[in-house]
């Protein structure tokens, strides 16, 4: 089971200050459980792990098996909550060099999470001459980035492999009834899965949004869901502690939380976490800024700032106890690199000492630090971690006094983009914006 240690956060805040937030944390947890807080029509994620039934899991697995049997590559098209959960889990579980190895099963690629022209060109070139399919994911069914990517990819798939292949190898995950994607899927006869109305994008990884791409990539979605269910059905203590300590630190002037990992495979887990906390808490002029670093890599770039820069940060370190493989540092007669003092030791040991050394140095440098320990990185542990962060986010958002389940701020750029592209209905904004350029 994952666990949390908040001792090294003491110093910047004391136990009294942390304990003073206990009633607020418990009240926030009650508000979540009773469903009577802001955004309460988006609490479907709270009991997802225990409520996903056999039929839903089997449907996802069957679709994934068909895609795996027929396709060498499957492109998951989506942005924000419609891609980050799947990307995070797949990257955490995958062979990290799978892209360079031949024939290791169906690979899931991602598109529609940017508007990079060269990115799209390179992807479309890669797909040529292969057997491939698409999972298009958009709750609203109207988001511009995935809509553009899907239009391009659908056209390419139909041209290259035929309309029949395309209609059998495009799967749409969207709202039950509304939105352009629902209409298109019905018209083209695509297999579809529903994103429940009461589950927002960034809380949707345990719906088909995350589960289907993860299953297509060959991972065990039942173990992922079981891990999340363990967290759902266990005590709230870890979530309360995390929410309490980060809010106490925020109130003491620590405005930035850095999620730290020492495992390259956790990079996208941090990207998912940043979206979860950034979109949920950053509103009404409030909110901890969620940042992330990959150590030891970033100790050689951001390490200086973290050790010595403005003291407005705290860290939450994801520590992983055991690895899947062993690599031992060899002895070298000449020892010109001076490494014989660690010869015979495993890389995991060196990495753990680097982590310990870093945590102690950062605490000494005035950076409070929480530690979340994962016994290993597998589906079950990731399921626990996902649910832990989701629930703690709901609690923390309510403690902060915001609605954690909306994201009104993301509309501003969209309106400007539509106006600048000349979309009908935005004429007044177009003139006003162009006058500023």
Helix spans in 35-172 (H): 48-51, 54-70, 84-93, 117-127, 144-161, 163-169
81 counts as binding ligand PA5 under rule CB under 6 A: yes
Question: Considering only CA atoms, which of 159, 254, 231 is closest in space to residue 393?
Answer: 231
- Residue 411 designated active-site: no
Q: Which of 91, 279, 315, 390 is catalytic?
A: 279
Q: Which of 13, 32, 79, 313 binds ligand PA5 (CB under 6 A)?
A: 79
| Four-point Cα dihedral 272, 352, 245, 258, nearest 10 | -40
210 counts as binding ligand PA5 under rule CB under 6 A: no
Question: What is the spatial distance between Cα 197 and Cα 199, in angstroms, rounded to a whole number?
Answer: 6
Q: Which of 16, 101, 117, 300 is catalytic?
A: 300
- Contacts with ligand PA5 in 387-426 (CB under 6 A)? 407
- Residue 300 designated active-site: yes
Q: Which of 87, 123, 135, 139 binds ligand PA5 (CB under 6 A)?
A: 139
| Closer residue to ligand PA5, CB minimum distance, 24 or 402 | 402
| Four-point Cα dihedral 281, 47, 319, 366, nearest 10 | 30
279 counts as binding ligand PA5 under rule CB under 6 A: yes
Number of residues that bind ligand PA5 (CB under 6 A): 14
Cβ(75)–Cβ(111) under 8 Å? yes
Contact window for ligand PA5 (CB under 6 A) among 62-70, 79-87, 155-163, 333-341: 79-87
CB of 197 to ligand PA5, least distance (A): 12
- Contacts with ligand PA5 in 176-205 (CB under 6 A)? 200-202
Q: Give the max Cα distance, the chain.
A: 75
Helix spans in 81-116 (H): 84-93
Question: What is the spatial distance between Cα 192 and Cα 184, in angstroms, rounded to a whole number?
Answer: 11
Judge if the upstream peptide bond of residue 90 is cis by omega within 30 degrees of 0: no
By beta-carbon distance, which residue lies closest to ligand PA5?
A: 201
Pairing mode, strands 3-5 and 369-374 = antiparallel
Contact window for ligand PA5 (CB under 6 A) among 80-88, 307-315, 357-365, 389-397: 80-88
- Residue 414 designated active-site: yes
Residues with active-site annotation: 279, 300, 414
User: Which residues of this protein are in contact with ligand PA5, per CB under 6 A?
Assistant: 79-82, 138-140, 143, 146, 200-202, 279, 407
């Amino acid at each position: 089971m994952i666990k949390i240690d908040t001792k090294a956060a003491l110093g910047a805040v004391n136990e009294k200050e942390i304990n003073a937030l206990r009633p607020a944390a418990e009240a926030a947890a009650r508000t979540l459980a009773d469903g009577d807080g802001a955004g309460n029509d988006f609490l479907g994620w709270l009991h997802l792990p225990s409520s996903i039934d056999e039929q839903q899991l089997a449907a996802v697995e069957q679709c994934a098996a068909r895609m795996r049997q027929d396709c060498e590559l499957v492109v998951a098209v989506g942005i924000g909550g419609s891609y980050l959960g799947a990307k995070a889990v797949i990257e955490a579980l995958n062979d990290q060099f799978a892209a360079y190895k031949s024939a290791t099963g169906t690979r899931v690629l991602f598109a529609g999470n940017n508007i990079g022209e060269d990115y799209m060109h390179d992807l479309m070139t890669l797909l040529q001459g292969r057997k491939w399919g698409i999972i298009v994911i958009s709750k609203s069914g109207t988001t511009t980035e995935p809509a553009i990517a899907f239009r391009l990819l659908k056209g390419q798939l139909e041209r290259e492999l035929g309309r029949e292949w395309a209609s059998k190898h495009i799967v749409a995950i969207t709202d039950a009834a509304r939105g352009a994607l629902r209409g298109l899927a019905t018209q083209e006869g695509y297999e579809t899965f529903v994103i429940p109305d009461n589950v927002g994008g960034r809380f949707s990884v345990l719906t088909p949004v995350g589960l289907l791409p993860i299953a297509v990539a060959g991972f065990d979605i039942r173990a992922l869901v079981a891990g999340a269910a363990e967290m759902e059905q266990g005590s709230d203590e870890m979530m309360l502690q995390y929410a309490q300590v980060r809010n106490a630190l925020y109130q003491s002037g620590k405005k930035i939380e850095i999620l730290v990992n020492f495992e390259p495979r956790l990079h996208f887990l941090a990207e998912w976490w940043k979206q979860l906390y950034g979109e949920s808490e950053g509103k009404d002029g409030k909110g901890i800024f969620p940042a992330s670093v990959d150590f030891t890599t970033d100790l050689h770039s951001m390490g200086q700032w973290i050790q010595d820069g403005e003291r407005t940060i705290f860290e939450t370190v994801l520590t992983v106890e055991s690895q899947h493989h062993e690599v031992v540092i060899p002895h070298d007669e000449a020892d010109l690199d001076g490494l014989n003092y660690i010869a015979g030791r495993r890389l995991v040991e060196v990495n753990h000492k680097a982590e310990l050394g870093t945590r102690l140095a950062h605490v000494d440098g005035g950076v409070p630090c929480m530690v979340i320990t994962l016994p290993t990185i597998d589906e079950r542990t990731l399921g626990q971690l996902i649910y832990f962060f989701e629930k703690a986010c709901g609690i923390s958002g309510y403690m902060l006094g915001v609605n954690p389940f909306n994201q009104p701020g993301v509309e501003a750029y969209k309106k400007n983009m539509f106006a600048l592209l000349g979309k009908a209905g935005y004429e007044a904004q177009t003139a006003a914006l162009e006058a500023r350029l």
